[in-house]
Amino acid sequence: MQGEGPSLGRRCAFARLGGCNLSCRWCDTPYTWDWTGRSDTGIAYDPKKELRAIPYTEVRDHLVGYDVPLVVVSGGEPLSQQTSLYPLVRDLRGSVHDVEIETNGTIAPDPRLAELVRFNVSPKLAHSGDPKNRRIVGNALAAFTEVPGTAFKFVCRTEADLDEVGALVEQYGLHSVWVMPEGRNQAALDRSFARLRDPVIARGWNLTTRLHITMWGDRRGV
């Protein structure tokens, strides 16, 4: 199931890519990039165990075999590999799959890719721990606003985070804004959701939970 954003609850298959140009301390997939233990888990993952190169045709056939209408490409940061990603997406669209790409919004999309997918862009806020000049790239965000169907999804903890979101929305003309509570377990999600629910509605934005956490907790491979 897609657990977040506009397609929440849709049956899907995931393709998860390794490597990221950011280092969010609360990241829920640090095993895709954290080789030094910088995230909140404190675990230094081994890239030799976590990552492997697979021909895109093999990935394509595996995803098609799930027999679901939607494929979600996540990471890490998928657009770091968008040139290699294009033939996979092209073939999936040719087999009548919808494709979504989850991205942190720091890398402008290849126009060829933008014609085939919907982007779920998740700019990172100050609480991610990265400096603003790394996590907010204006020309990239501007490029995403020109792609039809793009959704902008922000991970928030408190009402104060919404002021930061509002400043980005105004500065870059972001549309289709979604706010998602941060949390790797149900208790943390519930706390954040309770704080955010009413202020998000008052601002006229969309609100999404993390359905996969409700269904399976903080498990890998689901």
For the annotated binding site, the residues are 16, 20, 24, 26-29, 74, 76, 122-124
Give the strand order in the sheet containing 177-181.
12-16, 70-74, 98-103, 118-121, 151-156, 177-181, 206-207
**Three-state SS at 101:** strand
What residues contact 33, with CB distance under 8 A and at least 6 apart?
A: 18, 19, 20, 23, 27, 75, 76
Whether 79 contacts 101, CB under 8 Å: yes
* Residues of each annotated binding site for Mg(2+): 29
Whether 98 contacts 78, CB under 8 Å: no
What crossing angle do the helices spanning 159-172 and 186-203 adopt, rounded to 10°?
50
**CA nearest neighbour of 126 among 58, 203, 25, 218:** 25
What residues contact 19, with CB distance under 8 A and at least 6 apart?
A: 32, 33, 51, 75, 76, 77, 80, 81
* Residues of each annotated binding site for [4Fe-4S] cluster: 20, 24, 27
Residue 51 in tokens? 């990552």
* Residues of each annotated binding site for S-adenosyl-L-methionine: 26-28, 76, 122-124
Separation CA 25–CA 155 (nearest Å): 12
**CA nearest neighbour of 25 among 12, 40, 44:** 40
* Residues of each annotated binding site for substrate: 16, 74
